[in-house]
A and B are shown apart, each in its own frame.
Chain A
Amino acid sequence: MTAAGFMGGLGVERGQAAEPTGNAIANIPIPLGAAAFRDVGSKFKITDMKVFGVSLTPDSDRPYVFVKFETNAGIVGWGESTLEGKAGAVMACVKDFREFIVGSDPMQVEHHWQSMYVHSFYRAGPVMGSAISGIDQALWDIRGKALGLPVYRLLGGPFDSRGVRGYYHASGRTREELARLRENLLKHGITCIKTGIPGSYEWIETHATLRRAVRSLETLREGIGPEIDIGVDFHAKTSPSVASILVKEVEPLNLLFVEEPCPPENVKAMARIAKRSTTPIATGERLIASYSCRELIELGVVDILQTDINHVGGITALWKVAAMAEASGITLAPHACEGPIGGLATLHVDAAIPNFLVQEVCSGIEPGPKEKVWEEWLGFPAMRMVNGRFPLPDKPGLGFDLSEAALKKYPFGGTRPMARVFHKDGSVAAW
C-alpha cells in the first residue's frame, strides 16, 4: 500500500511510507477507545514504542529521555521527554502510556493528548507533562512525515523563512571580556543573549548584595552596547520582596525581560513584582499544559511566556499556550535546555505563531562538546544559529533522522539530582 492508501486517498505517493508490516501488528491489542475511530481514522498504526535514557557523560544530571515510535508503514517518530533531575521517573511514566498509544492511529494527536491527560485523572505535573511531551512530539514527527510536510508547515508557517530568532547564554566580567563578547555577537549576527545574577539570595537582602546584582547587569549593558537584547534569568532564587527591588532598579537598562523573578506556584506573588515595574516579566518554563498559563495571562502578570516543549505537553500544548497568549498580546520565548530533539521541535512551533519573540538554547556562542555530539547524531549542527537565526529544516516531520545505534555510545548513567546549593547557615537555597 502507498502512503496515499493509508489516508484513504487517490494514489499519489507522499511522505516516506512503505509497505505496511501487517504481521507486526497482528499481536498488538487495540487500545481502549481506538475502535470508535475505525471508520474515520487513518490506516497508520503504531507498532512499537521505545524509550531511551541517554547520558552524554556518566554523571550527567540531565540525561536525555528520547521516545521513538515505529509504525506499520515504516515511518518512525522521535520525541523528547527529558526532565532535569528526574530521568528515571519520566522514563517510567512514558512506559506507563504504552497501552494508550501502541496499536493506535498516530495521526489523531489531539485525541491521544486528551486521553493521556484526562485519563490520568490527576491531570499533569512535570513528570507526566514531560512524558506526554515526548509522545506528542513523536506523533507530530510521524504526522509530518505521513502528510509530506515539515511540522511548521502543518501549523501554517513559516512567518519568516530565514529561520527562528534565537539567543545563546553569555556573560562577561571585565571590560575586555565584554568588548570581545560584543564583537563576537555582532560578527555572528546574534541579536540577543541571556545571563543570570550572581550568587544566592536570602528572603530580604543587604545593600551590598542588591548593589552587586544591579552592578553586574549595568556592567553587562555598558559592555555589550545598546543594540543587543539582554534577558536576565533570576531563576526563581529571589523572593518577591528582593525581586521587586531588583526588577525596578534595572529599568534603565531596558532589558528584554527578567525571567522567573520568584517561584512559579503563586501567581499573585509574581504579580506583586510585575505591577511595580515596567521591566517585562518572563516565566513559564516549569508550567505544564495550557491550563497553567491561564491565571498569569488573566492577571496581566506575564509579558513573555517561556513554556518548554519538553514539559508543557509537546507541540500540541505549546501551540495552545501561544494561541491563548496571542489573544492578550503576550509573546513567546520558549525555554529549551535539554536535548536536540525538543530543541528542533520547538523551532517548528516558533516558526508558525504570530506572537513569537525569541528562542532559547542553553549553549554558548562557541559550540561545546554537547553540540559536537548532537551533530554526530543528526548529521547537521542542530540548534546552532546562522546570522542570529536557527535555520528551519525542509524535510517532512520534525526534519531529522536519528539512528538508535548513534545513541548507544552514550548509555544511561542513572538519575541524578540537579545542582543543590545551601545558604551560609546550612539552610536550603535555590540556584
Chain B
Amino acid sequence: MSDTSFFKKNNKQLWSNNLTLVRLIGMTPVLAIATTLANALALGLATLLVLISSNVLVSLNRKKLTEKTKIPFAILVVAALVTITDLVMQAFAYTLSTSIGIFVPLIATNGVIWDRLRVIAYNKTVVQAAYDGLVCGTAFLVVISIVGILRELLGAGTIFKNMHLILGSVAKNWVLQPFGENFEVLIFNFPCGAFFILAGLLAVKNIIDSYLHQCSK
C-alpha cells in the first residue's frame, strides 16, 4: 500500500468511518462531560494530544514490541501521557480541570485511543501513526464539541459559557442566551439527555449519507 493511499483511506475516519458516530467508540466522555462547549473542547483537545503522542511513541518502538510486551508497553505509555496531561492541566488551567475532573485521568480508558493503537500504531510508520492520531482525534473533538454545543444550548440555554477558561479573558463576554434568561431543559444536563443528542446526530448523519448515496446514483 503506497503512502498516499494510506492517507486517503485514513481520511475516512473523519466521516464515513467516524469512530464515535459509526462505530460508537469513546462514548463515555461524550455522554458524561460534554455539558458545555468549553468542557467538550478541553476534553477533546486533551484526548487529541494524548492520541497523537501515544500513537507516535508506540509506533516508534513497534519493531521491538513482541506479542507479549505490546500491551504492557502501550499501557505504560498511555498512563504516563495521561498523568502528564492531568498535572499540566491542574497547574495551568485549574478551574477547567476541576470542571472536567475525573475525566482527564479517564482518557486512559478511552476506546478511541486503544482502537487506534491496535489498528495503526503497532503496524504503521511514525508519520502515518501521527497523521492517524490527528485525524481520529479531530473527528472525536468535532463530535464531542457538537454534543457540547447542543447540550449547553438546550440544557443551560447559553452558548460559549466559560469559554474564557480556554481562550483567556478575550472570551469573557462571549456568553449568549438566545432563549432568554431562564431557559433550561433539565434532561439535557444529564447523561440520558446526551443519549438523545447523540442519537439525533447519528440520525442526521445517516440521513445525509443516504441523501448523498441517492445523489451519486
Q: Do A and B bind each other?
A: no
